Amino acid sequence: MRTETDKLVKDLKTCACDAEELIKATAGELNDKTKEARLRLKTTLNSAKESCEALEERALNGVKIADRKIRTYPYESIGIALGVGLIVGLLIGRRS
């Protein structure tokens, strides 16, 4: 999952750079350089959308799996959540 997150971040940064270039290029008239920048921006946006959709799908699958486990083992899930909450509470209490 980390690789997809890294790819999404990279695509978004590339998109931002391409968008800035497009803004600079369109300050004057529309020419070949502007058309090329717009094409790169469109390609980058499509790639970012695909990465985001894949990441969203994986996250949704993870949520579904967790939901099934919680419904299968409800008391164990409550016990684990209580234990984790207690530990986090103690750690936060120590820092204050």
pLDDT in tens, 70-92: 999 999 999 999 999 999 999 99
Query: Whole-angstrom Cα distance, residue 52 to residue 11?
Result: 10
Is 59:43 a contact under the CB 8 Å cutoff? no
pLDDT band at 47 (very low <50, low <70, confident <90, very high): confident
The model's pTM? 0.55
Give the other-Cβ count within 10 Å of 25's Cβ: 17
Residues with Cβ within 8 Å of 33's Cβ and at least 6 positions away in sequence, in order, are 25
Q: Cβ distance 62 to 70 under 8 Å? A: no
What's the CA gap between 15 and 38, in Å, rounded? 11
**Residue 6: per-residue pLDDT:** 72
